[in-house]
Amino acid sequence: MRATYNRYDLNFKKPSGTSRGILKTKETWFINVISDEGMGIGECGILRGLSIDDRTDYEDQLKYTCANIDKGLEFLLTENVEFPSIQIGLEMAFMSLTSKSPFVLFPSEFTEGTDAIPINGLIWMGTKTFMKQQIREKIEAGFKCIKMKIGAIDFETELGLLKSIRENFSKSDIELRVDANGAFKPSEAMDKLKRLSELQLHSIEQPIRQGQYESMAKLCETTPLPIALDEELIGVFSLTEKKELLQAINPQYIILKPSFIGGFRGSDDWIALAEEQSIGWWITSALESNVGLNAIAQYTYLKQNDIPQGLGTGSLFTNNFDSPLQVKNGTLRYDTNNEWKFNL
């Protein structure tokens, strides 16, 4: 058995705004595992500036991992505890190697094309006009759940955009989620949560920056609007640390990005701990190519969580790989009539 790795840069169709700046390209890496049985493909979905494994020795770790591929998955997962994006790439590659099809890792009604996953429509930060345009497009495309990133432009403007949706669509028509990406200061967060709650939102992701456990716990205890932890889960490696974090903060929801939190096994740990505490959860992609999105979507479907998931990012790039994945009427589907075109 041997393995190789290579880098691939995804180009956004439109520069995408977050509270941390404008994204024009997205770096990703692929691991290819080769044996007498064939070849397995895995994507290491790192996001510079956010992933815990955004380190100068990232490529060195990929090189080490490929050089030791014959030591097996269990050994390599342990060796990559601090590199969650490499962990999920390895999980994908080893499953891909032994699957009947290299891109069907978790067979189900989803991969057979007979069932779909409800997803949210993502509204990127930008000017009021641009955000309003995105909202209109998502509603026209049949989305019943819209997630809007906030925190980059004036809060009053963002509030106005949300109000304009509610003036035309009730809570039963459109579910609204917002993602602050830690943009609020602890001193102002509660006031903003109260104002947002008047618009009957589903939840807010990461209102304040991660690592402020005491402030976040207080917010979660008294909030008028359900809070979902996102970045807060990044860099928490051991099962004990995960349990302590959830017990300390006790959020209403957690959001799982498998590429950031130890792949599928890491996600399994978080889900089990959350359910022990009656904490809700959903799964979100992290700007992977269709290769990584495909694996995460297949994994997500098996969890049978019926609330909208965050898996609608495949159409953001000009140079993504053609795949059976299709967004239709607010759902992600696997169209078995479409073939994979994976060329590097």
From CA 84, how far away is CA 92, in angstroms rounded? Answer: 12
218 catalytically annotated = no
Helix, strand, coil % over all residues of the chain, rounded to 5: 40, 25, 35
242 catalytically annotated = no
Query: Edge-to-edge strands of the sheet including 21-35?
Result: 2-18, 21-35, 38-44
Which residue among the candidates 138, 144, 242, 257 is catalytic per the annotation? 257
Angle 140-143-145 from CA coordinates, rounded to 5°: 135
- Is residue 27 a contact partner of residue 88, using CB atoms and an 8 Å limit? no
> Which tokens go with 278?
């009656």
> Which tokens go with 73?
């998955």
Instruction: Classify 85 as helix, strand or coil.
Output: helix
Which residue among the candidates 138, 144, 149, 242 is catalytic per the annotation? 149
Q: List, in sequence order, every residue forming a beta bridge with 228; answer none if it has no partner.
A: 205, 253
Query: Side chain identity at 94, as an amino acid letter?
Result: F
From CA 62, how far away is CA 142, in angstroms rounded? Answer: 41
From CA 52, how far away is CA 205, in angstroms rounded? Answer: 19
Specify burial of residue 232 (Cβ count, 10 A radius: 0-12, 13-18, 19+). buried
> Which residue, among 261, 216, 21, 228, has the nearest Cα to 126 in the 3D structure?
21
> Which residue, among 50, 22, 86, 88, has the nearest Cα to 233 in the 3D structure?
50
CA dihedral 175, 179, 180, 186 (to 10 degrees): 70
From CA 199, how far away is CA 320, in angstroms rounded? Answer: 36
Beta pairing, strands 227-229 & 203-205: parallel
From CA 160, how far away is CA 204, in angstroms rounded? Answer: 16
Residue partners of 272: CB distance under 8 A and separation at least 6: none
Where in the sequence numbering do the catalytic residues fall? Answer: 149, 257
